[in-house]
A and B are shown apart, each in its own frame.
Chain A
Amino acid sequence: MTLFDAFSGAASSLSGPLPDPSADAGWSAEHPKRVGFFTDTSVCIGCKACEVACKEWNLVPDDGTDASDLYRLTGMSYDNTGDLGASTWRHVAFIEDVRPHGTATTGHMPSGLPALGGSLPRDAASAPPDGGTVDLLALLPDTGAHGQQTPDDERDVRWLMSSDVCKHCTHAGCLDVCPTGALFRTEFGTVVVQDDICNGCGYCVPSCPYGVIDVRESDGGAHKCTLCYDRLGEGLEPACAKACPTNSIQFGDLDELQAAADARLAELHGRGVEEARLYGRDPDDGVGGDGAFFLLLDEPEVYGLPPDPIVTTRDLPEMWRNAALTALGLGAAAVAAFFTGGRR
């Protein structure tokens, strides 16, 4: 990226819908269509093939800092990698969702089987407020979490799995704040770190509203999903999508994925899976829509996703204004300190 490009990038919009982020970043009109992921968590079986395929292809090291940390259970269901990070570019979340018997929503029961357990009347008193779920860890001691009010064998369990990944935001906070130009917008509309440029300043880390990018302690560089930039260049789909056995991870042109996702959502809603929703699909959201978006079966925060992310640079012009005014004020105050009351 040349200095000129950087300046032209600086002119790019900071928030709101943006049909073509690549062009906004200065790519010529002939650049390829924007690509992305649609991760349909309703068909995820939690096999973690995406995590392994990603690491294999991208030569990402084992997660964790040392062996004692590496090979320890987290106790978070079958999730032992915890979250996305410098050395986990795909992360499968496991949520054990417990509800009193008969109150389970229709998550995976769309095919017209008779409702089961009809002998147990639904007890409104024992139903959790706002149909919520219980965190397994919270259940362990008798903490009075709502699930405890029904005996073990009268609670239904739902096991949600979801493969998380960098969202490749339309307005990417990480890219905006990168001071070296290491992070850049590719011709495919994705956001990639150039490892040979990154100096490990770490600014991208807290600037990501999703907590995706992180600095790897072993090499000091910031790392995240590249959407397999190298594979895209060769006309291949990213490793995770290739490895996904159930097509939970779908790769393709973003507009086609969005259409497919809308159709899938309509299908699920048609089957009575009311809790199905798309996440990151909306170009009007706080990051201008995600290049990698999801179909979820519960609220985003249950999966560790922010419910309403906003790119931090949306407010940057105001921040600069405030800082500039304050700087003037500070200067003025310092100057004034010499004149107020005169010299003794």
Chain B
Amino acid sequence: MAEAHPVGFQWVMEAKARGATVIHVDPRFTRTSAVADLHVPFRAGADIAFLGGLINYVLTEGKDFREYVTAFTNAAELVGEDFADADVEGVFSGYNAETGRYDPISWQMDGAYEAPAAGQRDHWEPELREEHAAFTSDTAGGVGDQAYAPSDPERDDTLQHPRCVYQVLKRHYARYTPEAVSRVCGMGVEQFLAVARAITENSGRERTTAWVYSVGWTHHTVGAQYIRAASILQTLLGNMGRPGGGILALRGHASIQGSTDIPTLYDLLPGYIPMPNAHLHEDLQSFLDADAAKTGFWGHMDAYLVSLLKAWWGDAATPENDFAFDYLPRLTGNHGTYGIVRDQIDRKTFGYFLVGENPAVGHANGKMQRLGMANLDWLVVRDMQMIESASFWKDGPEIETGELRTEDIGTEVFFLPCANHTEKSGTFTNTQRLLQWRREAVHPPGDARSELHFYFHLGKKIREKLAGSTDDRDRPLLDLTWDYPTFGVHEEPDPQSVLAEINGFDADGNHLASYTQMKADGTTSGGCWIYTGVFKDGVNQADRRTPGAEQTWVAPEWGWAWPANRRTLYNRASADADGKPWSERKAYVWWDEESGSWTGHDIPDFEATKAPSYRPPEGATVEDALSGTDAFIMQANGKAWLYAPTGLADGPMPTHYEPVESPVANLLHDQQDNPAREDIDRAWNRLNPAMSETYPYVFLTYRLTEHHTAGGMSRFLGYLSELQPEFFCEVSPALARERNLEHLGYATLISARTAIEARVLVTERMKPLRIGDQRIHQIGLPYHWGSNGLSVGDPANDLLGVVMDPNVHIQESKVATCDIQPGRRPRGPALLEFVESYRRKAGVEPGGIT
């Protein structure tokens, strides 16, 4: 965190100054480790073994926060009899070896179908979907699943029933003993126990523990399950919905949270409303009908969606035309970034916008990325610098090797300079869902323009060209509300008007104050329901800057947090079942009997007047179906899920699988790697075999403080380039001796994809690990470099193959294998032969760009 998020790390240091213990669990000794109370080195890709070990410790030692667990989780509910645990084999019931996918029906609770509040959407195969129609309806849409009214599952509040979630969980993790964790992760038993003791002693009524992670957890074939494992641990320890608790995702760069809320993701509409599927959602009614009966706050999705459609298409969205629901694009499959690139190479996709993105350097398997871009008709690159993704056609690595020839590349590349964050106004949404308005400090130079300017005027131009068209396919564009006020000589759209549109209006044109005002009848509009309230009273709430010293410690008047300016989600859980704070020290939100309402330091994330004693009447829907103790209000059943009967493509409980490219066998289960993972089996995406002697070393990619992601914002600047001037790899002295690597000399790193070269930094911060009987070396590779800019080097991501998590289609880029040899890599066509010789030696099929 100190490495990639130094500014946010000030709060960790602040907590440390106030007595917090900081533990850093990371394969490398980083700047974070340097100031942590304890650094625990371990093997990349072994996190679920580690977290599972902690869960096992909590359950076997009885360290869970029992009152919290019984009040707010599904621990007491019984899992259906059909469920078979992964056990020794490592595969759950419902796995289809032919398709490589799970049918999760056997994971369901006893006597109830439960639906995910988010998560896996596409994991029902069409045939399964039909088969389980009784249970599920809007499966492709996912979120609609909460629509299904659950009858309460069987429960055992003593937590003794062998099929109750608590016992199922305990059995599942029984194999994750401290000794097993030590063997799998390469950390000492004492080290593991020190962490286990530290976090359990620091959780409970009086204390809370927070976990912070970033892409070291998500960039894996089991990335979603990493987070699930942390969720289970934190829920068992009662660290969710309470001050000082939680699981905090550090996003890759500023406002990635914002681009998830108002998404650049293919399968979501703003506010986590699912994108409709081409075949399942012929019309609005079938999309919403999928929500046959609704419990929890997702029950109001109709109001959120109709308001969104009204915001986009205004008067053109009428009850008669389904509020223009047909104008929405539809999903036809996996359109995730790697799927798109595969389609580019297959000549199924012909145009590409790259906006502040440099896939030629920043994405896994750079060759695949460049090959995709070389097969386009047109490519628009909006960036501040001439990045590699805009120049690959003349100086990319494939040009050097002769795999591509400039004259054969038909892609027309449009490079457009863009404004940076100090050159335009708008919001950043940080990982705490906090929207902070920033103002333009300087005008963008030359022809550089903001993204808002670009898209607004692009839209205007397209609409001008389409004006008068009678083709129905042009209606969505022509009917858009595209009327933002502009200012200045460049006709810059007013970003506040966009924020106001996102906030939404009522029928009279007043700014909405809360998403609870949204209606499904078309009388309200709002571009993102969770952001409603950010323009309450016509005031840009995100622009509030009351200093911390002039307000309470929760600081509600700094910026604005979605939803409804709540700073901690699910904060009902900060009070016990009766609504009393768990402790004075950790009091946050509580039930005030006198006033008959919830109150506290934060805005309660609960209906203000729903008493803790409230129990839903039979047949209640939406929020009325949640009881006064159902703190997790976005869940259909209001509970935190220790066991996830649905929503995940690769099992109801996180299970340790080795990375696809791992030097060791899975010591916990027979199944080596995630059986449900997604592959791209092409010559340009060969994988290193597991336990390969040809590719014996683990490498991991990461960022340095001095550079920013793929380098577009740092490698071109002298002040930053001089701080980390060259691409390097970090190796331990032992590995340096083993491979004759010289400090500051060159090394060549080889995978089944390609070979790259890097300067060598020999450092004691890299430690060899003992895994079972093996000694495992890990190599660190910062991934910032490419061929352009002041500081240049080979892209580390070229070394990676693409193999993905089945839930979110994210690549496994934080761990893979390679070989390392002293000296520089071959140049030109010799490089191809060099890499091919390694593939031959490893028994990998021939690679190439065909």
Contacts and interface: CB of A to CB of B under 8 A. Distances in A.
B728 A73 contact: yes
Given A71-B726, A80-B722, A111-B19, A116 B733 contact: no
Contacts of B790: 67, 70-71
B2 A45 contact: yes
Contacts, number: 159
A48 B31 CA distance: 12
B255 interface: no
Residue in A47, A48, A117 with the greatest tally of chain B CB atoms within 10 Å: A47
A98 B194 contact: no
Q: Which of under 10, 10 to 19, 20 to 34, or 35 or more describes the interface residues of B? A: 35 or more
Nearest to A51: B723
Nearest to B745: A75
A157 B41 CA distance: 11
A49 B10 CA distance: 13
B744 A75 contact: yes
B35 A113 contact: no
A246 interface: yes
A98 B768 CA distance: 15
Contact of B37 (A73, A111, A119, A136): A111
Nearest to B186: A153
A245 interface: yes
Interface stretch (A56-64, A251-259, A281-289, A324-332): A56-64
B33 A159 contact: yes
B126 interface: no
Contacts of B16: 43
Nearest to B190: A116
A185 interface: no
Interface in A263-316: none
B34 A62 contact: no
Given A47-B705, A113-B21, A118-B190, A246 B34 contact: no
A46 B31 contact: yes
B719 interface: yes
A155 B734 CA distance: 12
Given A75-B761, A117-B190, A52 B723 contact: yes
A152 B723 contact: no
A80 B724 contact: yes
A48 B706 contact: yes
Nearest to B767: A153
B33 A73 contact: no
A63 B790 CA distance: 13
A109 interface: yes
Contact of A47 (B31, B194, B197, B759): B31
A265 to B, nearest CB: 14
B725 A73 contact: yes
Nearest to B725: A71
A43 B723 contact: no
Interface string A122-164: 0000000000000011011000000100011101011111000
Nearest to A114: B194
Given A45-B9, A73-B759, A117 B726 contact: no
A78 interface: yes
Contacts of B743: 75, 136-137, 140
Residue picked from A55, A67, A75, most chain B C-beta under 10 Å: A75
B6 interface: yes
A118 B705 CA distance: 34
Q: Which 4 A-B pairs have the closest CB atoms?
A: A71-B725, A47-B6, A159-B34, A62-B718
Interface of B: 2, 6-7, 9-10, 13, 16-17, 19-21, 29, 31-38, 188, 190-191, 194, 197-198, 704-706, 718-726, 728, 732-734, 736, 742-744, 759, 761-765, 767-770, 790-791
17 contacts: A43-B13, A43-B16, A45-B9, A45-B13, A48-B706, A63-B722, A70-B721, A71-B721, A77-B761, A77-B763, A78-B724, A80-B725, A117-B191, A139-B733, A159-B765, A245-B6, A246-B6
